[in-house]
Amino acid sequence: MKKRIAFLLLFFLVFGGFVVADEGMYLPNNLSKSLMEKMHRMGFQLTREDIWRQGGPSLSQAVVNLMGGTGSFVSSNGLIVTNHHVAFGAIQRQSALKGTDLIRRGFLARNIKEEIPAPGYKAFVLLKVEDVTKKALKGIKRGMDPLKKYKRVERNTKKIIKKAEKSGYRCEVKKFYGGEKYYLFTYLELKDIRIVYVPPRAIGNYGGDIDNWMWPRHTGDFSFLRAYVGPDGKPAEYSPKNIPYKPMRYLKVSARDINPGDFMFILGYPGSTRRYMPSFYAKFMEENFYPDRIKFLQGWINILEEGSKRNKMARFKNAGILKGLNNAIKNWKGQLDGFKNLNIVKRKEEREEKMIEALRRKPELRAKYGDVFSNYRKLFKEWRKLMRKSLYSGWFAYGSRLLSTAIIIDYWTRERAKKDIERKEGYMDRDRENLLLRLKLVDISFEPWTDRQVLKYFIKEQGSLPEEYRLKGLEKFLNRDFSEKNIDAFLDRLYKETVLTDKNKRITLFNSPRKKVLLAHDPFIELADAIIPELDELEKQEKRLSGMAMDVSPKYYALYRDVFGREFMYPDANSSLRLTYGTVKGYSPRDAVFYLPQTTLKGVMEKETGKNPFIVPDKLKELYHNRDFGIYFDPDLKDIPVDFLTTHDTTGGNSGSPVLNGRGELVGLLFDGNIESVASDYFFYPPITRSISVDSRYVLFITDKFSGAERLMNEMKIVK
């Protein structure tokens, strides 16, 4: 009997009870009655209006989009908590500006005057979501040319945005279910973001790339930022006169115990999933897309790592992009393993067989969707041809900081002469401020030796491609000679004669008429000008295929819905705000291995090697050995909790998302997924799909006991 009880206890600890992992990334403004009832049965204690209220206040207004990550307000004075790795770019840029290693040391503002700018950071608060499908599809006719169809929708959405967008706000139109629905999102744009507290690397990035995507995890992946506005309370650029933003809603921070089986939900901005992608697309991703990118990316990483060893400033300047690339390549390798281990292509084929069988059996479905698979395969064949050239051309254009700068300037001078509504997306009047900001920030991440070597690597890769994939403009500059000697001579001229290393000259060129820019004969701008027509042609082909997809994708989604049911169907992630729910739960990654769902400070100590990335600060050791744990001690774990696993459905972009208990209190910050489940972007597999979060008690423990940030502790509303 004792053995049976012990086994049941172990099962509960490992698997968090008998609750099944829940798939789905739901729009907070469109939560169904069935979904709400299901969450209430699991432990949700709030109402639909607590999650979303048009214009606010609701929990959705406490969550912010941080341009690739997520954060949340945790005080009435605009204090934002997010991941260390989401705030990493800010601390990296300040390290480069100051010549001081704030990445290693961390940063703490002891008072509000010491809070420093987070260069390039903005926070977006979602206020409204409106269905604009009819407006977006206005003028679309059956049998319309695919490119014309795409451009019509593009023009329609530009008009929608232009009409809706006002000073201090940012709007975007996103499509859902392959273009079946279009929604207009209106955000408050907070432009003055400052760094408040970033823990030292030995805590915020404990385990580094070795532990990235892995479990068990022992990192304190959190940081604090703050949003500021002008003295009038409206969004404004940085100024010493600005004041902290007063959010409509902020989160209480929980110091309560959490246990296996506890219900939790997450609000965040997941980047991209491809759950409804047909099997033949998925097969291409497995066999070609990821292998090509991994090979290409590894060469880029090698150059950055070599360049970072040259001196301290090179290390600071390369840190941001290197961290991002290392994260990407590990994810992509995990994707490949997931495709193989989960047999994703076969699973998708099995679903498609059910859809095809439904078409055979039901004439009414066949009448509506009978050509959907044949048309999808036709679209796929054309898309596949475009992918290889897009890969190498796209990375060539934006891998070098100076070449990407030249492309911005050249594009702006081209597009500025057109009517605003006719311009390329990203180069309209509304984008001028962001483009200028990118030009101003170049110096923070430009390291000459590394930039040159990266561009050389990209040029050599171009030379190794079959001729039909090469950039003809580049070939012309090199006289079709891709020998190392000729490439070096070409690079000598580029880097010797350019003025783009000077911020003031970059800005001057950006603001100059196109004729004057071309007469300057800057070699990087001349190269950009030569390859832009080819980049435009690639974009044109991509738009044409997107126009073809507008006929196919909505039908595919509709057929999927008719066959598998609509009750809990959700759209693929597209960086719009989503809700996902689940429980604290461990998993079994392979035979005879079980992972418990929580880690502790003891595990941090056990992992220490004394070498980066496993260095434990002396102060943290002292707190551990003295058991100076305060209210953050977990009586069940008999230790300070660090990280935990949940069954939530998340992906990139969710980093920094608040993990909330049934009361809507912050219990953790999501920062990762487990390596075995990164392919869930294509197929959600409940037994092993887990999200990894840092426990709010560890966040509070480090902020309070380790850093002595009493000001922040007093500012937050902590519940126990």
Positive or negative torsion for Cα 293, 298, 304, 307: negative
Distance CA 188, CA 534 (A): 36
Distance CA 61, CA 43 (A): 22
- The residue type at 406: A
Closest by CA position to 658, among listed 154, 265, 347: 265
> Residues 186, 128: contact at Cβ < 8 Å?
yes
Which residues on adjacent β-strands are paired with residue 244?
228
Structural element, H or E, at residue 155? helix 146-164
DSSP 194-218: EEEEE--HHHHTTTHHHHTT-SS--
CA dihedral 660, 576, 327, 325 (to 10 degrees): -150
As given in the structure block, the two tokens for residue 347 are 């699973």
As given in the structure block, the two tokens for residue 155 are 């023009």
Which residues are annotated as catalytic? 85, 221, 655
Q: Is-cis flag, bond preceding 240, omega within 30?
A: no
Distance CA 56, CA 45 (A): 19
> Residues 147, 544: contact at Cβ < 8 Å?
yes
Structural element, H or E, at residue 190? strand 181-190
> Residues 717, 253: contact at Cβ < 8 Å?
yes
> Residues 612, 59: contact at Cβ < 8 Å?
no
The Cα-based distances of 561 to 242, 564, 566 in angstroms read 50, 5, 5
Distance CA 532, CA 520 (A): 18
